[in-house]
Amino acid sequence: MTGFGDARTQDPDAGLTISAEIRAVNNRNLKITTRINDPYGRLEPELERLVRDRVRRGTVQVSVRVERPRKPEDYRLNKTALDGYRARIAELGGVVDFAALMTLPGVVEELSTAAPDLERDWPIVARVAAEALETFEADRAREGAAMAAELAGLGRAIRETVGLIADRVPHLVQEHQKRLVERVQTLVREHGVTVEPKDVIREIAILADRGDVSEELVRLRAHLDQYEEILGASESSGRKLEFVVQEMGRETNTIGSKSLDVEISRRVVDVKGALERIRELVQNVE
């Protein structure tokens, strides 16, 4: 599922300002990319572990920025450069603007600062990242609720269509029998062919057996029951849903291949369309 979360904090004790953003797009697997500014790059594996513990699917991008407000003692005025600029301006007869002089190259030098204490700063960074994860998960939960509603609706549509197929099956034998009798009567009338009643009965039985999809309908309904149980469970399982949908597709294909009835074939196409939509959605379910 897609999702976005962010968090920001200022820690006066550590003198740090930390911001974190987490974004995700759909992916049936988990791919995490972390980015944190220097000199905190060594914390990226820790950030990835933090996310991996709570996210199971999606392409996830984690961006963290750690800033320490600059202090006056972090800078030094280069008097030699300043005097040089002033002298040059005086030679040209210009008016010295000290505010403008401060922006000239080399006048204000930034002193190198000591390397940060990563062990000290990591708990603060982790706390902000965890807060961003909470807003990220809340965002995904809202999308997940809408997705669950759509999956449930698709399941109900499939169950209704399966019911229509089941209602149609008992009439098939009668229709096969009627068509076969009509063919026999035509042969007798046009060619004087003699057909034994037992041969007609045997042919009807063969056609009925070939087109019998009652077992497939029972299994398909059982898979639908399991599908609804998984959707209603407190802990979602995209992998389980994928497996159940695969089994539903297998039974649907068998029904379509065994049935010689146009109406049932149309219903099978409807079920396949719903299953394809479910497959698309399930790939994004954790």
The residue whose two tokens read 């849903």 is: 241
Q: Residue 159 pLDDT more than 80?
A: yes
Residue 209's φ and ψ, nearest 5 degrees, are -70, -40
Cα four-point dihedral sign 243, 244, 246, 250: positive
pLDDT at 117: 82
| Cα separation, 4 vs 140, whole angstroms | 8
Q: Residue 101 pLDDT more than 60?
A: yes
Q: By the 8 A CB rule, do 13 and 40 touch?
A: no
pLDDT, mean of residues 246-265: 89
Question: pLDDT confidence of 156, banded at 50, 70, 90?
Answer: very high
| Cα separation, 200 vs 183, whole angstroms | 10
Of the candidate CATH numbers 3.30.230, 2.70.50, 1.20.1440, 3.40.190, the domain formed by 3-69+123-142 belongs to 3.30.230
Class for the domain spanning 143-282: mainly alpha
Residue-wise pLDDT for 33-50, tens only, equals: 999 998 899 999 999 999
**Residues recorded for the chain:** 286
Higher pLDDT, 138 or 12: 138
What DSSP string runs through 194-209?
---HHHHHHHHHHHHH
| Cα separation, 8 vs 131, whole angstroms | 9
Across the chain, what does the average pLDDT equal? Answer: 83
pLDDT at 190: 67
Fold match flag (3-69+123-142 vs 143-282): no
First to last CA, the chain: 8
pLDDT at 272: 95
Domain ranges within the chain, ordered by starting residue? 3-69+123-142, 72-110, 143-282
Q: By the 8 A CB rule, do 15 and 45 touch?
A: no
